Amino acid sequence: MKSKNIGILGSGVVGKVLAGGFLKYGHRVMIGTRDVSKLAQWKEQAGEKGQVGSFADTAAFGDIIVLAVNGTASKAALELAGAGNLEGKTIIDASNPIAEAEPVNGVLKFFSDINYSLMEQLQAAFPGAHFVKAFNSIGNSFMINPDFGGIKPTMFICGNDGDAKKEVAEITEMFGFEVEDMGAVEAARAIEPLCMLWCIPGFREKRWAHAFKLLKL
Ligand SMILES: NC(=O)c1ccc[n+]([C@@H]2O[C@H](COP(=O)([O-])OP(=O)(O)OC[C@H]3O[C@@H](n4cnc5c(N)ncnc54)[C@H](OP(=O)(O)O)[C@@H]3O)[C@@H](O)[C@H]2O)c1
């Protein structure tokens, strides 16, 4: 992929890991946050291709946007980013609609509805942006070139815009995944809950080292 500007909305571990992946492959990255001071150390390590800015600066900077904020804040973060700065852009949506509640027997609680996913809510709120669900159901330590003994994990993606999905497929392949396009935005109803499934062995048995693979004939 030609070198691009990647605007990452989210200063948590996912934002930083994905930023590292894009820097590794020669892209320019800006991480967006409400408090730039907390990324001073990251900025120092990132070198000249890594920048830090507000959510609006970051969205304006990005040719491609990554949404990696707390699910409860995803709409607020996009509002701070500004609809105009998102217009026509691919948004890689790694966020999950995890409610602020303790898991029950290892099962996370969602604030979204099984028939109306978080990404559908975001796509409806920002109709000019091209949301593509990806990276939501893999732990951050396996997001960039994970080593599962030569087996490529599956990245399930979905979204309404074919070109945006092609762009995201290229990125996820670059990061070491095989891609399964599950269709339009409604498929996020199925992809978002994969994060629940991924986390169950972790919460129940402290097993966090796994990834999904779709076996096909
Ligand atoms: N952790 C994982 O391994 C993993 C894996 C797959 C998917 N995910 C998903 O990826 C997303 C990011 O996860 P994370 O663990 O990296 O970080 P996180 O702690 O869930 O989110 C941190 C980000 O959320 C922003 N935020 C929080 N409240 C906000 C508000 N009221 N308004 C605007 N922004 C707000 C923070 O902004 P500031 O920078 O301004 O503080 C920060 O950038 C989540 O949706 C998570 O479910 C996580």
Identify each DSSP E strand in the chain by its residue range: 5-9, 28-32, 50-53, 64-67, 90-93, 130-133, 154-159, 178-181
Rounded Cα gap, residues 103 and 196, in angstroms: 9
**For a pocket test of ligand 1, which of 13, 14, 118 has the largest count of ligand atoms closer than 8 A to its C-beta?**
14
**For a pocket test of ligand 1, which of 16, 17, 69 has the largest count of ligand atoms closer than 8 A to its C-beta?**
69
Q: Residue 42 has what pLDDT?
A: 97
Structure tokens at 65: 């946007």
The model's confidence at residue 2, banded by pLDDT at 50, 70 and 90, is very high
Rounded Cα gap, residues 19 and 135, in angstroms: 13
Structure tokens at 89: 């852009």
pLDDT in tens, 81-92: 999 999 999 999
Element (H, E) at 124: helix 118-125
Least Cα distance to 70 among 12, 156, 111, 116 occurs for 12
pTM exceeds cut of 0.95: yes
Kindly report the backbone phi and psi dihedral angles of residue 183, in degrees, each rounded to the nearest multiple of 5, phi listed first: 110, -145
CA distances from 143 to 48, 87, 129, 156 (A): 23, 27, 24, 13
How far is ligand 1, taken at its centre, from the CA of residue 75, in Å?
12
Atom from ligand 1 closest to the CA of residue 95: 45
pLDDT in tens, 115-165: 999 999 999 999 999 999 999 999 999 999 999 999 999 999 999 999 999
Nearest CA to ligand 1 atom 7: 136
How far is ligand 1, taken at its centre, from the CA of residue 74, in Å?
8
**Res. 65: pLDDT tops 90:** yes
Ligand 1-lining residues (CB < 6 angstroms): 10-15, 33-35, 68-71, 73, 76-77, 94-96, 98, 135-136, 139-140
**Res. 1: pLDDT tops 90:** no
How far is ligand 1, taken at its centre, from the CA of residue 152, in Å?
26
Nearest CA to ligand 1 atom 24: 69
**Token pair 């030569």: residue:** 150
Nearest CA to ligand 1 atom 10: 95
